[in-house]
Structure 1
Amino acid sequence: MNIDELENIAANCKAPMYIFDSDIVTDTVEMFRRNLNTASKADINLCYAMKANPFLVSIMNELTDRIEVCSMGEFRICRNKEITPEKLLISGVMKDRQDIYEILDCYGERCLYTAESLMQYSYFKEWCKANKKPVNVYLRLTSGNQFGMDKQTIRNIIMDQTNENYRPNISGIHYFSGTQKKSMKKIRDELTSLQEFICELEDTTGYHIDELEYGPGIPAAYFEGQDNALEQHIKEVADVINEIQPDYKITLEMGRAFAAGCGYYMTEVKDIKHSDDKNYCIVNGGMHQLNYDGQIRGMYMPHIRHIRSASVEYNETDFEKSDTNKLEHNELMNTESVNNWTICGELCTGNDVLVQKIAIDDLKAGDRFVFENTGAYSMTEGMALFLSHVLPAIAIYNKKDGIKIIRKEMETYKLNM
């Protein structure tokens, strides 16, 4: 979005709010497909991990081959939005019997499922036998933490396969070890190791794995000085896939890589002050609504747009118009640190610092800041209920249709009483 588009939104919408640009999402997915189709000879599909941004699930239903669902809440979002059942991969480290049965009774074999433990697998096996229907299950391989099962457990499950008609079909292996991987060597080593394990499974059990669902953890660039290397990273992933020459389909599961670049978080300057030779501005938002992976008390500089209050409908108070306040304001503007500001949020904690130091001329209450690259996790990972502040409105934007509010500002105090 360019500055004119943001200024128009600022003039017509209340802050704080999130804006997700669906044109950027579309361009990102198309870029991934273009590079994968060009660079790789393998059959590669794309899966959207909706935990990154559930508000994009309808858009991603049209753009990607699969949607990963990791909770009953996410499943109910998909039902409400009428997401194609055949595109759903029901995942998640905690799936109890009641949850699994609810989804199976609703969609049955139309969805795909992951089993992260012997207990989860037994629930699928039990349902198949009782309902005389098979379901397609992916066995999640652990990366050394609480997620998934170790190699021997997976071998045992596959070797325990019987000739019964109604049982889980082991359709593939699921693997994800973490996000924001800085080194392509890590991804190369993982894909190579997975290839060796899948080949070893077939050699020892005689069972052919049809698909690998793999989360590469491609990093998103959030801060100034970081290169946006998404295109280069996906080319390198395709090169590695070519090298290992898999005889199974690969689905790349991503959330942050698809969604981060489409998001804008708009907040408003509500107060400015000078204290012990530092300039502070207080915005009506904060760390409970803005989260960048790796950020620590505003140490790293995110990409920010400054929209002056002339672009925003803002009325000065009588105090701001007074001679006393104008004198204090002029004194503030004449200090040596006039251009350096610390941007702080509205929370009652010293940790609520969004930017430690940013140079801005003539900052005024009523100005807006727009934080970029907030399309993944930012709207859900913060302490949303702390101090019972409102939840910001959420909007979808594209050049054809303009802006559409999909969630109005919501009060949270009722949830804390």
Structure 2
Amino acid sequence: MDRNLELMLKEQKTAFYIFDSAVLKKRIMHLRTRLPERLELCYAVKANPFITKEIENETERFEICSPGEYEICKALGIDSRKMVISGIYKTPEVIEGLVSDKDFCGIFTAESVRQYRLLCELSEKYGRKLKVLPRLTNDSQFGIDPEELENIIRERDSHPMIEIIGVQFFSGTQKTSLKKFRRELEMLDSFLEKLKSEFSFEAGELEYGTGFPVSYFRNESLDEDALLEGFSELINGLGFKGRIILEIGRSIAASCGKYYTHIVDIKSNKGINYALIDGGMHHLVYYGQQMAMKQPFLSVIGKDSIIPDKLWTVCGSLCSMNDIVVKQLPLPEIEVGDVLCFENAGAYCMTEGISLLLSRDLPAVYIIKENGELYRVRRTFETLALNMPKYERMD
């Protein structure tokens, strides 16, 4: 057994995450070697804020979608010039605080005409030239309608303190269809050409959220190399020759993470074998998991060489009929105290779970550096204080 894992299993009696910096950086390098050299990378911090510091020199930008994410990046010492302040709702007070801070030199996205006007007002109020990326809608609540965005470009000279550096676009995650990528990129290429021909606006850059997929479950058919090759051909065929920055979260972060949870009880009810764990659905979120029917990549620590002999339904610690992690999973002989290791837990697992339900603890988080050094970046965290009523009389 790996020495670091042995140390953590000895110290941690409850569930925990491990994020491997070497695996993370190798993944970024893999993407770069499979994609056109002209492409740059923007890491979506929401996928996993714990690994942000590990890749501060590996990606060109960081997408920040909340005041909390900004404070995390600031505390980690991330250069503000690499920050893109995004998100469908930007708290006006927070945005004003950033604009008034002369040390902040990041980029702002504009998700609506209202957001754009706010940035225009603040740029004039504080006498600061701001870099702005209007977001083109993906036919949802996100972004700006094409006609409204065209009006912004048409009237851009009315706001000399705003530098519109390009356009941002994102349409979803776990996209496996090259036809969808083709439709989006052709639409964007056409839109950028229209801005150039009709409004004399030559976009300096396109920030494009790819939504590259991650294979989370056994028996999934995903040929990532073929997908990236096809995507690269589409990029190379674009008429747009400005900067292209790919905003990626899940595809960068997923493979670097593992989630460890202990078997705390085993039973058989009406012919079905149940293994109860000290974690559950509040710790482990796989995109595309449906009623625990799909089987993620996992193993029983120390029993890799043992042939599975029974089917087990793995359930979590929440008092909820929905807390089923996986059904009818072949496992070797297991017992209370065994530890399950779930793969590809580096993106969203630690942030998307319903972590306040039943006031259960949040797992500890560890990072393994490239040189093998082990760091704990979050202790096991009690959530009961967050659910504890505190009566404050309002006079």
Q: Under TM normalisation by the shorter chain, which class is it?
A: over 0.9
SS, match of residue 63 in structure 1: coil
For the aligned residues, what is the CA RMSD?
1.9
Deviations 1:268-320, CA, capped at 9 Å, x for gaps: 000111111111111001001100001123200000010259xxxxxxxxxxx
Larger radius of gyration: 1
The separation in 2 between residues aligned to 1:398 and 1:97, in whole angstroms, is: 38
Change (3 A) 1:164 1:266: closer
What is the aligned partner in structure 2 of residue 34 from structure 1?
33
Q: 1:399 Cα deviation (Å)?
A: 5.1
- AA of the residue aligned to 2:16: M
What is the aligned partner in structure 2 of residue 368 from structure 1?
339
Change (3 A) 1:355 1:105: same
Report whether the alignment pairs 1:134 with 2:165.
Answer: no
What is the aligned partner in structure 2 of residue 353 from structure 1?
324
Change (3 A) 1:175 1:264: same
Say if 1:302 and 1:372, in contact at 8 Å, map to a contact too. yes
Say if 2:193 and 2:240, in contact at 8 Å, map to a contact too. no
Say if 1:7 and 1:307, in contact at 8 Å, map to a contact too. no
Range with bigger deviation, 146-155 or 12-21: 12-21
What is the aligned partner in structure 1 of residue 393 from structure 2?
none
Report whether the alignment pairs 1:25 with 2:24.
Answer: yes
Range with bigger deviation, 209-218 or 242-251: 242-251
Report whether the alignment pairs 1:288 with 2:288.
Answer: no
What is the aligned partner in structure 1 of residue 141 from structure 2?
146
Deviations 1:101-124, CA, capped at 9 Å, x for gaps: 112122566101100111111111
Say if 2:99 and 2:128, in contact at 8 Å, map to a contact too. no
Say if 1:202 and 1:208, in contact at 8 Å, map to a contact too. yes
The separation in 1 between residues aligned to 2:278 and 2:376, in whole angstroms, is: 19
What is the aligned partner in structure 2 of residue 161 from structure 1?
156
Q: 1:193 aligns with which of 171, 187, 191?
A: 187
Range with bigger deviation, 365-374 or 109-118: 109-118
- AA of the residue aligned to 1:55: F
Say if 1:343 and 1:354, in contact at 8 Å, map to a contact too. yes
- AA of the residue aligned to 1:408: R
The separation in 2 between residues aligned to 1:148 and 1:340, in whole angstroms, is: 47
Say if 2:176 and 2:227, in contact at 8 Å, map to a contact too. no
What is the aligned partner in structure 2 of residue 16 from structure 1?
15
Q: 1:3 Cα deviation (Å)?
A: 6.7
Q: 2:238 aligns with which of 235, 244, 248?
A: 244
- AA of the residue aligned to 1:45: E
The separation in 1 between residues aligned to 2:3 and 2:387, in whole angstroms, is: 39
Say if 1:109 and 1:136, in contact at 8 Å, map to a contact too. no
Q: 1:344 aligns with which of 315, 320, 323?
A: 315
- AA of the residue aligned to 2:341: V
Q: 1:405 aligns with which of 376, 380, 383?
A: 376
What is the aligned partner in structure 2 of residue 80 from structure 1?
75
- AA of the residue aligned to 1:115: A
The separation in 2 between residues aligned to 1:125 and 1:9, in whole angstroms, is: 51
The separation in 1 between residues aligned to 2:3 and 2:159, in whole angstroms, is: 63
Identity %: 37
Say if 1:297 and 1:352, in contact at 8 Å, map to a contact too. no
Change (3 A) 1:249 1:280: same
What is the aligned partner in structure 2 of residue 383 from structure 1?
354
The separation in 2 between residues aligned to 1:50 and 1:270, in whole angstroms, is: 33
SS, match of residue 104 in structure 1: helix
The separation in 1 between residues aligned to 2:22 and 2:226, in whole angstroms, is: 21
TM-score (norm 2): 0.93
Whose helix fraction is larger, Structure 1's or Structure 2's? Answer: 1
Note the 1:91-102 alignment, pairs <5 A.
91-102=86-97
Q: How many residues align?
A: 384
The separation in 1 between residues aligned to 2:48 and 2:33, in whole angstroms, is: 23
Report whether the alignment pairs 1:298 with 2:288.
Answer: no
Range with bigger deviation, 224-233 or 385-394: 224-233
* Structure 1 unaligned spans of 5+: 310-336
Say if 1:264 and 1:373, in contact at 8 Å, map to a contact too. yes
What is the aligned partner in structure 2 of residue 313 from structure 1?
none
SS, match of residue 101 in structure 2: helix
Q: 1:231 Cα deviation (Å)?
A: 3.7
Say if 1:264 and 1:374, in contact at 8 Å, map to a contact too. yes
- AA of the residue aligned to 2:361: V
